Chain A
Amino acid sequence: MGMEAPAEVEDAVLLRAAADGDLGAVRVLYERHAPWLTARLMRRCNDREVVVDVVQDTFLAMWQDAATWRSDGEVAGWLWGIAFRRMVSRLRQRKQTVLMPEWDGAATGLLPAAEDQVLLDVEYGDLGTALRRLSPEFRAVVQACVLDGLTTREASRLLGVRENTVKTRLHRAKAQLRDSLADLRLEGLT
């Protein structure tokens, strides 16, 4: 899996074949995208059954909508959009436990390799520090609305709070982030 890189057929081509009813094309897309999708869903929900269901639903939806897919974006991003929304609505149907990622790096006891830390920090360094300064409620809202790209309504379902609360928290979190980033920038200068 994953290593059949040579002569790789593009996602968009496979998707067109899938729309024409090619089960083999669906399988190739599945082998390419299901693992990371599953890993990502597992990071957000600790119920294995829900994850299996959501992965299933996502690829069935992909197969059904393959014909209508406009080739103006990444298939990966499109799939994630379907998958995460399915998961949120699944969680609404039943009261399931959601596992929000651990925000305190020290608690997980993992120190990433120095090189990875540096390279990820190039883009997210200050932001990461700023995010860690947020209170847990604010972080959860930023994670859902900004990082995972949910609408405020979807985020309110996921987090189990009112939509207005999500909006307020998001607004305040953004303000805090702006302040933190300014502070960090100034700290860096001095």
Chain B
Amino acid sequence: MSTTTWHADPNLLRAYVEGRLDAVLSASLERHVDACAHCRSQIGPLVEVPVLEEAWSGIRTGIESGRLPLLVRLAQRLGLPEPTGILLAATASLRLTWLTGGLVTLCFVTLASILADGAALWPFLLVAPLVPVLGVAVSYGPAEEPFEALTVTTPYGRARLIMVRTLAVLTLTLPAAALLGLTLPGPAWVAVAWLGPALAMIPLLLALASLTGPRLAASLLSLGWTGLVLFAARDLPSTWPVEGTQQVAYLTLAVLAAAFLWVRSQRTQQIGVAL
């Protein structure tokens, strides 16, 4: 390639960009530009910025979605909107290590309950509702952050962010846990009944987390639930923690927690700010 020190005149470049050069002159200029980084860079300011920005946003999205985890790409294939997919990809609980860890634990616990021949349902009842709850708590990353840092990096409201993540965790954990529940000995309704405390604990977790951060909230809830299940295991029927009256109590707590969250976000005049 030629190593001339000649560089195209700004007016010539402008005429080229605006399409005012004839073909021979354009072709000549293009051959020069092929070999001249300086003239290439001079074209930069002459090109419409919106066109460049539009193309760039597509490129960035393309690159980022190329790196989305397999599960998220699968969900996108099924119609999940792209921004939500990227949001989910940032969810730590989708990392397979955590997910398999939780489910393997659940398998062992189920096995223990089966081997005890129905006499001891409590290991399953202890662990199963906690898997989705801890999943939601873990999905906020390793740091003890009261959801603050999250929203700094996303253009979404906190409420939406948290709901999307919560739903993702539930979609991944509930079916597996429910299937395992079906293999349990004892009354068949237990396989479904544990969902009551599991679902009730999620608004509780979110309400607590808005005060203390997700880690502490999850620890408090786990301790509370463990205490309840172990207390019941001592001399009450093994299904006591998921029987009717208790379910009503869980539901009441869940409603209270949701109301608390709502009031808090109303008081601060900003949707989702309480979380």
Contact = CB atoms under 8 A, between A and B. Distances in A.
Interface of A: 1-3, 5, 21, 23, 26-27, 30-36, 38-40, 42-43, 48, 51-52, 55-56, 59-60, 63-64, 74, 76-77, 80, 99-105, 107-110, 112-113, 115-116, 119-120, 123-124, 127-128, 131-132, 139, 143, 147
Contact of A77 (B20, B34, B55, B64): B34
B54 interface: yes
Interface of B: 2, 4, 6, 8-9, 11-12, 15-17, 19-35, 37, 40-48, 51-52, 54-56, 58-60, 62-64, 66-67
A47 to B, nearest CB: 12
Contacts of B44: 1-2, 31, 35-36
B28 A38 contact: no
Contact of B67 (A21, A43, A48, A104): A21
Given A60-B63, A63-B63, A35 B47 contact: yes
7 contacts: A2-B41, A3-B41, A26-B59, A34-B56, A39-B16, A115-B9, A124-B24
B18 to A, nearest CB: 9
B15 A32 contact: no
Contacts of A123: 2, 28, 31
Contacts of B20: 108-110
Contact of B51 (A52, A110, A119): A52
Contacts of A124: 24, 27-28, 31
Contact of A43 (B26, B31, B34, B48): B26
Contacts of A52: 51, 54-55, 58
A36 B16 CA distance: 10
B54 A43 contact: no
A30 B59 contact: yes
B25 A112 contact: yes
B30 A40 contact: yes
Given A43-B16, A59-B59, 20 more contacts: A32-B37, A32-B41, A34-B47, A34-B52, A35-B40, A35-B44, A35-B47, A38-B48, A39-B17, A39-B47, A63-B63, A101-B21, A102-B23, A103-B24, A105-B25, A108-B22, A119-B6, A123-B2, A128-B28, A147-B27
B170 to A, nearest CB: 31
A2 B45 contact: yes
Residues of B contacting A: mostly: helix
A95 B67 CA distance: 33
Task: From A38, A63, A64, name the one whose CB has the most chain B CB atoms within 10 angstroms.
Answer: A38
Nearest to B47: A35
Contacts of B23: 100-103, 131, 139, 143
Contacts of B54: 52
Contacts of A102: 19, 22-23
Contacts of B45: 1-2, 35
Contacts of A43: 16, 19, 26
A131 B24 contact: yes
A56 B62 contact: yes
Nearest to B20: A110
Nearest to A10: B37
Contacts of A120: 25, 28-29, 32
Given A38-B51, A56-B55, A120-B32, A76 B40 contact: yes
Contacts of B30: 40, 147
Given A3-B41, A101-B22, A60 B8 contact: no
B46 A39 contact: yes
A1 B40 CA distance: 11
B46 A35 contact: yes
B43 A35 contact: yes
A142 B54 CA distance: 33
Contacts of B62: 56, 60, 63
A40 B44 CA distance: 12
